[in-house]
Amino acid sequence: MEKESRTNNIYIARHRKMNFVIENFSEKYFKQVKQIICSNFQNPWKDSNILFKAENSIKKVVVEINSCKVLGYIDGYTLLNEADLLLIVVRKEYQNRGIGSALLKYFLDHIKQKNIQRVYLEVSEKNQTAINLYKKFGFEIYGRRENYYGNGEDAILMKLELNGLEKNADKR
């Protein structure tokens, strides 16, 4: 991040000549988020999964300031001292520009303030880009779920112990 600031649940950043905000997901972003999810996944989430919001949910969007275009979306939740990262997705034409990293950094900073000790996620064995992103942030593989996805792909199970986050901070 070249420059960042926070105001009332909005995270403002200037990164790689892009100005964007990370803010709470709301229904006004639903159509754009659904389109991004559908263009990235063979088995996209149902509308109800995107719209569902529990008290412990963390749903954020990255919005380009000048165009109000949603560039990415993250969804997760906390339970007691753990978090589950359900989804990070970035608009295809904006991938590999740091948007996914910005979302993941925001998520981890946010849950760290809530004294969360570990984070879990599942990722397709074929999604090497995502696996590399998670490893960059210190996630480690701890298992596999066979035929987890509807297309027969296995899920790689990953976790992050947050007490180890600081030692990996210089790698990001």
- What positions carry a catalytic annotation? 122, 134
* Backbone φ/ψ region at 79: left (φ over 0), alpha (ψ -120 to 50), beta: beta
What count of other Cβ atoms lies within 10 Å of the Cβ of residue 54? 10
